[in-house]
Chains A and B, each alone.
Chain A
Amino acid sequence: MPKRTDIQKILLIGSGPIVIGQGCEFDYSGVQACKVLKQDGFEVVLVNSNPATVMTDPELADRTYIEPLTCDILHEIIRRERPDAILPTLGGQTALNLAMELNKNGILKRYHVELIGASADAIARAEDRQLFKKTMQDLGLDLPQSGSAHSESEADAIARTIGTWPLIIRPGFTLGGTGGGIAHDEAEFSEIVRRGLEASLNHEVLIEESLLGWKEFEMEVMRDKKGSSVIVCSIENLDPMGVHTGDSITVAPIQTLTDREYQEMRDDSLRVLAAIGVETGGSNVQWAVNPDTGRRIIIEMNPRVSRSSALASKATGFPIAKIAAKLAVGYTLDELRNDITGSTPSCFEPALDYIVTKIPRFTFEKFPAADPTLGTQMKSVGEVMAIGRNFKQSLQKALRSLETGRAGFGADGKDEAFESASDEVLEEKLVKPNAERIFWLRAAFKRGWDVEKVFFLTQIDRFFLRHLRELAMFEDEIASAGTLKKLAADPALFRQAKEFGYSDRQIAFLLNSTENAVAAQRRKSGLLPSFGAVDTCAGEFEAITPYYYSTYADSGEPVRPRCDKKSIMVLGGGPNRIGQGIEFDYCCCHAAFALRKAGYEVVMVNSNPETVSTDYDTSDKLYFEPLTLEDIMHIYEREQCSGVIVQFGGQTPLNLAQALKAAGANVIGTSPDDIDLAEDRDYFKQLATKIGILQPESGIAHTVDEALAIAEKIGYPVLVRPSFVLGGRGMVIVYKEKYLRKFAEEAARVAEGKPILIDRFLENAIELDVDCISDGETTVIGAILEHVEPAGCHSGDSASITPPMSLSKEILEQIRVYAREFAAALHVNGLMNMQLAVKDGNIYMIEVNPRASRTIPFVSKAIGVHLAGLAALCMTGSKLADLGFTREVVLPYTAVKEAVFPFVKFPGVDIVLTPEMKSTGEVMCLDPDWGIAYLKSQLAAGSRLPKQGSVFLSVKDQDKPRIVEVARKLVELGFRLYATLGTSTLLCNEGIRVNALFRISKGRPNLLDLIHEGEIQWVINTSENGAEAMVDEIRMRSKSIAAGIPITTTIAGAEAAVDGLRDQLEFGRFEVSCLQEYHRHIHQMRTARK
């Protein structure tokens, strides 16, 4: 059956900002969906608040709303657009929840909007624990003993009925398992139940029998409306049950099930889809299997495209989201072609002749107070995927893709901490799952522990353990060669080491050699990787889509000819982490789009399965490989690239720039030397002086004592940071000497012997980000962004506004002059980002980065110009004049970017903003009125500022003068105020009515009581920068986050929010408008001026 003709306009809901549990995989799915729906002639309306996505590019949908993802805003959009259908299954849990809310509120019915992909009933059956359980029971499937509770006493009763520990607690209707956990005793149980009830949207928790240690599997299923179904990919978790699947190392295809077990699981997975009522599209079904008896239990199913769908798509070459979108509009699987082979239908099950390993990427170093134990609540912020011809190779490639400094499964000189631990510590690290467990496993085998002992401690399947043990043992086999020369004399052993996935770095370590020497020897010995194709069919049919991975084998895929085109390599950003995420992938994609359009062949290299860049549609040739010198250079040589672009993928490729150049690659754009110069403090200081811009006083310390001396000289507060880091890692503001000592010690540890930089901290300065582009001759400003939060909060964590609101014309003009001078001095070809501070009318230069910045997507959306694409063309020799971009765009509206934080996932971690970046994602909002734009951004970031009710105020001394005005406005807007003693006295003296509360540790009633009673709707709390936050304040903020109460931690944020609330009341309601309309206003304004 061909596509439906009774619907014309489809609303697609995106997944909003990147948060833990919902990453850029939904940009990937959204992009695929937009593309195919448009190709099929549908009018596509898209809503997503995340500007860093490719899907929100104005070309992808007909109408693109970058607006908060709330029911009210969607109501506005539906009222305006009148879509025939909503496709909610490609925007993660966010879209699904919104679709349910729209349905519940009668909006779908009122506007005759049909849910396609999954009906409300099907979603409810999958999402509502009770309904799901009943549906599965009716199917005759085995379930864990369980019950659902809506109160603590109900929960206790269920625990008594089940009668065994541990118990698993899962809240209903949340993202990525927020608020869940495993309880081993009564105390833990009541704590987690309380947290879960708070986190659940429907105040429900599920309590169930523990399946800890059982094997965990996942099946990715596609189904069409005729009921034809296929398993796209089967996945086995290396980490057994107990670790959230998003935090588990996983492997595809399933490795340890007999055909009988596998096929029964397949049959049941298909039955689950049918019973839940998934009409069309992709779903995943998760299973637990008892390793001793084979008893199989259904864990859950998601009636939508999920994180594992992205993984499954990249692992198999089957474009799940694209096909899901096609199926939702009426096609059937047998009508759709398999893009990879071009000759066979999509109605098939991919066959893999390789092993795919996914490893999650964590950032516990950003949240030292967070519990690093892995459990049912997802904590990872990104993931890598690697493809190898065998498990060992695949695992080692994945480990070196992680970019945590490891060259593979150990043997890289970084095993010391693991190997020297006591047996007790080692046992504990094996028993309690943690981010580094894989390396503890290696240590155990190195110590001579056998597979059975490690199995007893971890319940990780012996299949995996045996391979890990073999790898740990094989190090000695390599080392037994003694020297690189002797290894080269035994080509079979050399080759075997590569087959086992050992990187040149590991071999160098084992043989006391260098990476370069090993690489050179391999080339001399003719030991080069071959490349396999991800062809969906294990070689049975010819593949037309060039999607490759490296391995060491007898023969491989030949190089695909590229006619007379020049080939440009674009290096991706690797795994998402805090500070380096989807923004950079967006830039890589745009480089690919622009270069392909300009007639180049684009070779993409990346290891992140969640991204658009690793979609085989994005580039001409896709290499799913670790981003290391070794792996990249083989591809560069194989494809005979004429250039490689390093400035779009964040720090990952930048760190490789010099090595790539040294290895003979032609790094195009700003040269690696100039990139390094910008990081060189002395050079930079001279340059700033030459250009005539101020810099905060600074010094470089190599020891803690030096640091103290410098700080004494330039005066506190100071900003302390190690060099060469991204995401502000290790950076902190220090007000007092005793803290400086502590932080200097820590910074030294993070930066591994590199010097510590100390700057005078410009308190209460306005911070700015300036993004510009240069072709080497002409430099054009993309946008100047003013931060809402004052200097001291990491630029990635601060709300930003463009055009700037509080700077004079003269200052802005001066900034433009500086930008042009810096770009010229650094010979920038491509993008450049400057961070500046303005204090008392003076402009200070903080740093200049001649590369794509995190704000490029936001700026590009705001001004309607694809800066990254233009920059890629500049790097290949085009001039901005030829590209038609020579003048800064003047905006007739305000664009606001706000950061989104993962605090809710890390209970007990303080949420105050510091120079260390902590946000995982961002939202964007636009409005002609800046206050409303800001307010919308708060809403979009999940901070639902109340229109009425009570506000709690507690501010640090230096904010006291400014809080008075905020408080006064709040009272005018009809809010009730609460404040701690100090703040309330101040306000009373100013004649503002306010209720005084005790500090938490001083008595009751205090804020915690009021929050508990639902009396507080908003918390405004600012605290001393740099000082260790008081226990009281941490508790206050954590409690607010857990209770879902918006919390504002800067006085500037509070002022902006209050202005926004006032404006909102004036205008009556939020209005929505699409990006295409905003961009038209720019155009109209420009035309009018001419």
Chain B
Amino acid sequence: MDNHKDLWKQQRERKAFLALADGTVFHGYAFGDLHDRMGEAVFNTGMTGYQEIISDPSYAGQFVTLTTAEVGNYGCTQEDMESRSLFLNGLIVQELNPASNWRSREELSAIMKRYGKPGLAGVDTRALTLHLRTKGSQKAYLHVSEETITEEEAVKRAQAWEGLEGQDYASIVTTPVPYDWNDDGKYHVIVYDFGVKYNILRMLAARDMRVTVVPASTPPEVVLGAKPDGIFLSNGPADPSAVTYAIENIRVLLGHGIPMMGICLGHQLLGLACGAKCGRLKFGHHGCNHPVKNILTGEVAISSQNHNFALTDLPAELELTHINLNDNTIEGIRHKTLPAFSVQYHPEAAPGPHDAAGLFDAFRKLMEDSRS
């Protein structure tokens, strides 16, 4: 009861805050690691999956605002980690709850603290989301520490931050050394780790693939030397145009006709390697409810999405395969002559619906066909 009183007091004092570069400030109370951070404020409208989100390397450099009302309810468990660490810069929620689920082993605030990530609770996340929707994703300063800092100063620091534009975050989150995810599999797949989510690896492995994960900057010769049946381009954070080495490498690998699949950042890189253009969306797609239509079959899948950039103009050798029904942006492409395809959304889900899991089967089919 007493700690309730303290918590209530903290909740209503709302001393911690998020200061956006445009001068807007959102107040709340701190949880997790109590060090101030800078980052890019984005939102995610998924109603479940906060642990998958915080452990998704794609959010490196970002403050993720969860729009769902109550967070922390089911705790955290090692099984639901999507990478080896938390790479986001901070989490912003409305209501923070202690865990109540048989799978939970750790509280949300505890895992944040353990990985040194700050959180801000008690925020009117709807107001913040509407702000980001109209003004676009923004550089921001998250104040959670005991340090005295004025709101004006925080805004200035946010403005002064370098931001994510043109930044190669893939090299930060990628595995430092190659590793084997599993030992067995009919097909050998090399996964370029630009910030790969474990569920991609799980889903590849579940389809009889032996999965080797390599660092983002691994030269094509090394990959070719392993004679893989397939190459996978993973998801990852930030700006695809900053990962120029990867674009070059993919261009080389494409020439060898090895089946290739890309997701999210991997999809953008494949597109760029083939000559497509890539631009920044106003506030990105961040949620678990985006309808994607396969324009070849007419099928619609509800997809998990998390990206700020999107391919725009496709060159002649690329065929448009999927579109987002909300805003008609490009969601999937395939090469007209080579065994390569990619999607902007997340068929591996985690979090989100499993509707598009069949794409991994399609990848496997490419490898099957290329063997025969």
Contact = CB atoms under 8 A, between A and B. Distances in A.
A470 B96 CA distance: 13
A541 interface: yes
Nearest to B104: A258
A474 B5 CA distance: 8
Interface in A517-562: 532, 537-542, 553-556
Interface stretch (A115-123, A290-298, A571-579, A1075-1083): A290-298
B234 interface: no
Contact of A259 (B1, B52, B125): B52
A81 to B, nearest CB: 35
A1090 B325 CA distance: 60
B13 A391 contact: no
A865 B300 CA distance: 46
Contacts of B299: 226-228
A354 B77 CA distance: 25
A351 B47 contact: yes
A462 interface: yes
A348 B67 contact: no
Contacts of B13: 492
Interface string A99-141: 0000000000000000000000000000000000000000000
A766 B229 CA distance: 91
B249 interface: no
A889 B14 CA distance: 66
A257 B12 contact: no
B28 to A, nearest CB: 10
A495 B12 contact: yes
A391 B69 CA distance: 8
Given A353-B126, A390-B69, A390-B94, A538 B350 contact: no
B291 A352 contact: no
B69 A294 contact: no
Interface residues of B, number: 61
Interface in B54-84: 67-70, 73-74, 77, 79-80
B287 A344 contact: no
Contacts of A261: 101, 103
A474 B8 contact: yes
B227 to A, nearest CB: 35
Contacts of B352: 259, 263
A648 B124 CA distance: 37
A625 B293 CA distance: 37
Contacts of B95: 390-391
Interface residues of A, number: 64
Given A348-B326, A353-B68, A537-B45, A258 B127 contact: no
A493 interface: yes
Interface string B42-57: 0101111101100000
Contacts of B277: none
Given A492-B12, A496-B11, A540 B68 contact: no
A227 B14 CA distance: 48
B354 interface: yes
Interface stretch (A248-256, A690-698, A893-901): A248-256
Interface in B146-167: none
A44 interface: no
A344 B130 CA distance: 17
A222 to B, nearest CB: 11
Given A355-B69, A554-B124, A262 B98 contact: no
Interface in A582-625: none
Contact of A256 (B1, B5, B100, B293): B100
A246 B344 CA distance: 41
B70 A477 contact: no
Interface in B345-359: 349-354
B47 to A, nearest CB: 5
A1062 B290 CA distance: 63
B204 to A, nearest CB: 18
A344 to B, nearest CB: 5
A306 B98 CA distance: 34
A1068 B42 CA distance: 73
Nearest to A341: B326
Given A258-B101, A291-B102, A461-B100, A540 B287 contact: yes
B80 A258 contact: yes
B190 interface: no
Contacts of A228: 299-301
B67 A353 contact: yes
A350 interface: yes
B302 A345 contact: no
B124 A553 contact: yes
A741 B130 CA distance: 63
A227 B294 CA distance: 13
Interface in A51-66: none
Contacts of B133: 539-542
Interface in A331-356: 332-334, 343-345, 347-355
A919 to B, nearest CB: 39
Nearest to A350: B289
A326 interface: no
B205 interface: no
A294 B98 CA distance: 19
Contact of A347 (B73, B287, B300): B300
Q: Which interface residue of B13, B126, B288, B290 has the most chain A CB atoms within 10 A?
A: B126
A294 B46 CA distance: 22
A257 B353 contact: no
B97 interface: yes
Contacts of A332: 300
A266 B47 CA distance: 13
A721 interface: no
Nearest to B300: A228
Interface string B118-132: 000000111101100
Given A259-B80, A355-B70, A492-B12, A348 B291 contact: yes
A254 B351 CA distance: 15
B97 A554 contact: no
A466 interface: yes
B70 A390 contact: yes
Interface in A904-929: none
A351 B45 contact: yes
Contacts of B354: 263, 266-267
A651 B354 CA distance: 49
A389 interface: yes
A344 B291 CA distance: 9
B4 interface: yes
Q: Which interface residue of B27, B101, B325, B352 has the most chain A CB atoms within 10 A?
A: B101
A453 B202 CA distance: 40
A462 B353 CA distance: 27
A807 interface: no
Given A344-B325, A345-B325, A259 B351 contact: yes
A266 B353 contact: yes
B235 to A, nearest CB: 17
Contact of B48 (A257, A345, A391, A495): A257
A228 B73 CA distance: 30
A357 to B, nearest CB: 11
B225 interface: no
A260 interface: yes
Contact of A389 (B43, B126, B130): B126
Given A258-B101, A345-B291, A466-B97, A496 B8 contact: yes
29 contacts: A254-B47, A256-B101, A258-B80, A259-B48, A259-B352, A261-B101, A266-B353, A267-B354, A292-B102, A333-B291, A334-B300, A348-B325, A351-B67, A351-B68, A351-B289, A352-B68, A355-B69, A389-B124, A463-B73, A463-B100, A466-B97, A473-B1, A492-B12, A492-B13, A495-B12, A539-B129, A542-B133, A554-B127, A555-B124
Given A257-B74, A349-B302, 18 more contacts: A254-B47, A259-B351, A260-B80, A261-B101, A263-B349, A291-B102, A354-B69, A391-B95, A461-B100, A463-B70, A466-B100, A493-B12, A495-B12, A538-B68, A539-B67, A539-B133, A541-B133, A553-B126
